[in-house]
Structures are given as structure tokens and as C-alpha cells.
């Protein structure tokens, strides 16, 4: 719910004017963004555009989680970092860029690998979680935490010339979860460092994660809940797959 106590000064009204003028968005939408707290898991190729758009759009609190440092091979696609960040922790490097975009964003940096317990307590009472990690182990852990805390999860992945994105709106009983889609014990890791990635592919998917986060926070439009979009960059085509909650899912179904 928008909070009437949040008032914007003239400078803020100008900064956000192109959003505020949107139908179904308005001052209320801006207030909702201001009150929102989004957790971004991974500030690499997907997390970079996601974090930058959310900071620029006026999300009140962003928590960045990543235990990696910036390497020169990251800079081809991880656009929140730059050449001066090489060797620095990704969360601190990202924080600097995000504050330059919008000094009013509150940014928490977590520079470590979190356990399930730590992740669960981190995401309780947050608006949503963006999964921008690059491996199944992390994705399954994030999914378990979001299921147990009933937190909406915006999940994306990209490799080579392909990507996919969906929303697990785990606030709702009928939402599928990541483990309804992938078997926790049966997936082999494939990542960009071994297989390559064309930079704008992660840019597109990460931007869409930011878009879905804004829609969830402001309750506008229809999110990707129970729909998986699959992107083929070479053919420039999108496919939509319907996702159903698996009633025998070991993670999200009651048994």
C-alpha cells in the first residue's frame, strides 16, 4: 500500500516525472517503489542491468549479495562494473555505480556466500528477490528460501545466445517454484565462464527482471507468474511455456 507520509520534493518529482506521468503508475507507484526492498542475488551479467534500472527508478532499498571480485573478463557484459573496479568486490563496485545513478538509494552489500538460514532471514519482509546467479546450486538454495518465506522470486538465466525468465510469485499458493521446473538432484551446471555469452542477451534478461520487479511492487499489469519465456537471440524469437505447480514438488507442495 502506498504510504501518504512519503512526499517527494521538486527535484525528486522531476527525476521520476516520466514514470509518475504513466497511467496506472502515478505518485502512488513512485511511493510504492520508494518503500520497496529488493534483494539481488548476484551482481554479474543479469544483476548489473537489474540493479541499475531499479536504483534509477527509485526503489528505496537494494540489497546486493555476491562473494566474487571484479575480473577483466567480466566487463564485456557486467556493466555495473568498470575498469577501475578490477580486483574490488562486486558488491562494493556495484554500490558505487548505483549511488552515482541515484544517491538516494539505500544499498546494503553482502560480500559472502549465504546459508539457507541466513538467506531466509534476509528476505523475510522484502518485496521480492531477483535471482541473477549463474549456477543451479545457488538457484535451488534461493528457491528454497523464497518458498519458505513466501517471497516472490524473479528468476532468469542466460547462456551463449539464449535466455529464459519467469516469476515464481510464491506469495500465492498456486505458484510453481524453481524445483517444479528443474530437478534439484538432476541438473548439471553450465555457466558463462565455460560456455560463453553474448553481452546484450544478459542485458535483455536482466532488464526484464527489473521490469517484473517494478510490476510486482506497484501491482501493475500481469507478471510472468506460471509462464516461462525462452529467448533465442539468433532467431530473435521468444517462446512462452506454461508452468504448472507440481503437486509432488519436494520443495513447494505440502506432503
Cell (9 digits) for 222: 500481469
Residue 249 engages Zn ion in binding (rule: CB under 5 A)? yes
DSSP string, 77-94: T-TT--GGGTTSBHHHHH
Complex with Zn ion: residue 28 or 120, whichever CB lies closer: 120
Complex with Zn ion: residue 82 or 247, whichever CB lies closer: 247
Complex with Zn ion: residue 111 or 253, whichever CB lies closer: 253
Q: How far is the CB of 97 from Zn ion (least distance, A)?
A: 35
How far apart, in Å, are the Cα atoms of 67 and each of 12, 51, 79, 86, 137? 33, 16, 17, 14, 15
Instruction: List, as own/partner pairs, every contact residues 78-85 make where C-beta atoms lie below 8 angstroms and the sequence separation is at least 24, other chains included.
Output: 78/43, 78/44, 78/45, 78/47, 78/48, 79/48, 79/49, 79/52, 79/203, 80/43, 80/47, 80/48, 80/49, 80/51, 80/52, 81/43, 81/48
Residue 138 engages Zn ion in binding (rule: CB under 5 A)? no
Residue 146 engages Zn ion in binding (rule: CB under 5 A)? no
Residues 52 and 76 sit within 8 Å (Cβ to Cβ): no
Q: Which of 20, 54, 180, 210 binds Zn ion (CB under 5 A)?
A: 180
Q: How far is the CB of 190 from Zn ion (least distance, A)?
A: 22
Q: How far is the CB of 140 from Zn ion (least distance, A)?
A: 11
Rounded distance, CA 245 to CA 119, Å?
23
Residue 55 engages Zn ion in binding (rule: CB under 5 A)? no
Complex with Zn ion: residue 230 or 251, whichever CB lies closer: 251
Q: Which of 179, 197, 205, 210 binds Zn ion (CB under 5 A)?
A: 179
List binders of Zn ion among 76-95 (CB under 5 A): none
Complex with Zn ion: residue 16 or 168, whichever CB lies closer: 168
> Which strands, in side-by-side order, build the sheet including 106-110?
106-110, 61-65, 37-41, 128-131, 153-159, 162-168, 227-232, 237-242
Residue 153 engages Zn ion in binding (rule: CB under 5 A)? no
Residue 177 engages Zn ion in binding (rule: CB under 5 A)? yes
Interface stretch with Zn ion, choices 38-46, 64-72, 214-222, 244-252 (CB under 5 A): 244-252
Residue 123 engages Zn ion in binding (rule: CB under 5 A)? no
Binding footprint of Zn ion, residue count (CB under 5 A): 6
Q: How far is the CB of 178 from Zn ion (least distance, A)?
A: 7
Complex with Zn ion: residue 208 or 252, whichever CB lies closer: 252
Residue 224 engages Zn ion in binding (rule: CB under 5 A)? no
Task: Give the list of residues 6+ apart from residue 102 with CB closer than 8 angstroms, or none.
Answer: 15, 55, 56, 58
Applying CB under 5 A, which residues contact Zn ion? 177, 179-180, 249, 251-252
Amino acid at each position: 500500500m502506498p504510504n501518504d507520509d512519503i512526499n517527494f520534493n521538486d527535484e525528486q518529482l522531476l527525476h521520476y516525472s516520466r514514470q509518475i506521468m504513466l497511467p496506472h503508475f502515478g505518485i502512488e507507484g513512485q511511493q510504492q517503489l520508494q518503500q520497496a526492498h529488493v534483494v539481488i542475488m548476484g551482481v554479474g551479467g543479469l544483476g548489473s542491468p537489474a540493479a541499475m534500472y531499479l536504483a534509477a527508478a527509485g526503489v528505496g532499498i537494494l540489497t546486493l549479495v555476491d562473494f566474487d571480485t571484479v575480473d577483466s573478463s567480466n566487463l564485456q557484459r557486467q556493466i555495473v562494473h568498470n575498469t577501475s573496479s578490477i580486483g574490488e568486490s562486486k558488491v562494493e563496485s556495484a554500490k558505487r555505480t548505483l549511488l552515482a545513478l541515484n544517491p538516494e538509494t539505500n544499498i546494503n552489500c553482502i560480500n559472502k556466500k549465504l546459508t539457507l538460514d541466513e538467506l531466509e532471514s534476509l528476505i523475510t519482509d522484502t518485496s521480492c528477490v531477483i535471482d541473477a546467479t549463474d549456477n543451479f546450486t545457488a538457484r535451488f538454495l534461493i528457491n528454497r528460501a523464497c518458498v519458505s518465506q513466501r517471497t516472490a522470486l524473479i528468476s532468469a538465466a542466460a547462456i551463449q545466445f539464449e535466455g529464459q525468465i519467469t516469476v515464481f510469485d510464491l506469495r500465492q499458493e498456486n505458484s510453481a517454484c524453481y524445483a517444479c521446473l528443474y530437478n534439484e538432484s538432476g541438473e548439471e551446471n553450465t555457466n558463462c565462464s565455460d560456455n560463453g555469452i553474448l553481452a546484450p542477451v544478459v542485458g535483455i534478461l536482466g532488464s526484464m527482471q527489473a521490469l517484473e520487479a517494478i510490476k510486482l511492487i506497484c501491482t501493475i499489469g500481469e507478471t510472468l507468474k506460471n509462464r516461462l519465456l525462452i529467448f533465442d537471440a539468433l532467431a530473435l524469437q521468444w517462446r512462452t511455456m506454461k508452468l504448472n505447480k507440481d503437486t509432488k514438488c519436494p520443495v513447494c507442495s505440502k506432503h
